[in-house]
Amino acid sequence: MSHNTGWGQHPGQPMPQWGGGWMPPAAPQPGVIPLQPLGTGEILSGAFAAFRRYWKPLVGIMLAVQGVGLLLVLAAIGISVAAAQSRFTAVFDLAPGEEPDGSDVAALFLAFVPAGVLLLITMTASAAMISALCPAVIQEAVLGRPTTFGAMWRRSWSRLPAALGSVLLTGLIAGGPMILLYAILFPLIIMSADGSGPPAALFLLFPGLLVCVPLSVWLMTRFSLAPAAVVCEGLGAVAALRRSSQLVKDGWWRVFGITMLAYVVAAAVGYVIQMPFGFVGMIALLPNLADANESSPDVGAIILGFVVYAVCLLVGGMIGALFQYGFPQLVIALLYVDQRMRKEDLAATLIASIAPTYPPAPASAAAPGPAPGQAPVQAQAPDQV
């Protein structure tokens, strides 16, 4: 059964060709990348250009998603604090030398479990939304088409269930070796602690990690293009994982290396973004710390300095995090496009779709007309899935 593989190309459909063997002297670049197989520099620069040109929908949607998640988590924490208020007194407000009751400690811990679960859910949903947003942006950025916050929100939201499924399945599959390792070793380690089990169980953890961590990384990279396949090809979660495995095959090291480089670049740029905010916060804080050594310090000024410092760190961290979250996903989306151009000649489809907007071929290299009785070939425009 055939499925839409994105940008108007279907399995078994002949690729659009430039007649007479003529190709443009240089690959067209209507958007952030040239329409040809990409080098590492072109992928990274294309991701930077996409973030710069489409920062409004990117930043707007990421802020909206994280803001909603933060409000939900804060509400859950507030409810937990109100429900366990009496337990705080029983655990922390004790006489010197008095130990808290175990049941009170357990009850206080359990009161915050729902907030922790909600935090995990919101983080996973946010990651899935960003992993759906960035390929949607790249689809427009590759051809240089404008877009809006509303259009990207609707597109990302419509593909969120499948993107979330691909993220969860990838995490479960890639984390499977680690989960199995701990499931085997944890009972042995517990038995070793009370002397009833073999002490060697503790030493099996390190070699087990040496085996499981590379396998998990290999699986994570193998399925890393699944969210892009979900958005660009309209696939379900399981089909997207198979599609990602097909595209990454024979190019695993390249996909892994460029992805790791993207995360390193994102971390470095994010740190550079945060530095000025931390510097401003320190300028506000240091004079107040100097005043604290005086006999009658201004407590209000000291508190204000700490507040300004905390706000600067929070704002800088938030702005830096937006780039750190978004940039690697843009790179992964461009890797998806690059792998399709390398394996499926997607560049020819994209070039054919923009051909009317570019100067026609020279007369000497123009394509001959169709043979008598043969219908002219019509280039298909990319689908907007």
3-state secondary structure at position 334: helix
State the pLDDT at residue 110.
Answer: 78
Q: Which residues of 203-224 are buried (b: 16+ CB within 10 A; e: fewer)?
A: eeeeebeeebeeebeebbbbbb
State the pLDDT at residue 75.
Answer: 83
DSSP of 27-38, one letter per residue? Answer: ---SSSS-SSPP
Q: Which amino acid belongs to residue 52?
A: R
List the one residue out of 43, 143, 50 whose CA is nearest residue 352.
Answer: 143
Those residues whose C-beta lies under 8 Å from the C-beta of residue 150, and which sit 6 or more positions away, are none
Q: What is the pTM of this model?
A: 0.78
State the pLDDT at residue 172.
Answer: 92
CB atoms within 10 A of CB 363: 6
Compute CA distances 85 → 81, 145, 262, whole Å.
6, 54, 45
3-state secondary structure at position 111: helix
pLDDT in tens, the chain (385 residues): 434 445 544 444 444 444 444 444 578 888 899 999 999 999 999 999 999 999 999 999 999 988 888 888 888 878 877 777 666 666 665 566 666 666 666 776 777 788 788 888 888 888 999 999 999 999 999 999 999 999 999 999 999 999 999 999 999 999 888 888 877 777 766 666 555 555 666 677 778 788 889 999 999 999 999 999 999 999 999 999 999 999 999 999 999 999 999 999 999 999 998 888 888 878 877 766 655 555 555 566 667 777 777 888 888 888 888 899 999 999 999 999 999 999 998 988 888 877 665 554 444 433 334 444 444 434 344 443 3
State the pLDDT at residue 383.
Answer: 45
Rounded CA-CA distance 223/177 in Å is 15
State the pLDDT at residue 371.
Answer: 43
Q: 269: number of CA atoms within 13 Å, CB side? A: 18
State the pLDDT at residue 189.
Answer: 67
DSSP character at residue 21? G
State the pLDDT at residue 315.
Answer: 82
Compute CA distances 146 → 50, 65, 113, 169, whole Å.
11, 22, 44, 33
State the pLDDT at residue 318.
Answer: 83
DSSP character at residue 196? S
Q: 77: number of CA atoms within 13 Å, CB side? A: 8
Q: Which amino acid belongs to residue 137?
A: V
List the one residue out of 264, 236, 214, 233 whose CA is nearest residue 339.
Answer: 233
How many residues appear in the chain? Answer: 385
Longest CA–CA span in the chain (Å) reads 101
Q: At CB < 8 A and 24+ separation, what contacts does 316-319 make?
A: 316/273, 316/274, 316/275, 316/276, 316/277, 316/278, 317/274, 317/277, 319/273, 319/274, 319/277
Q: Output the six-digit token pair for 385.
A: 């899935």
State the pLDDT at residue 258.
Answer: 96
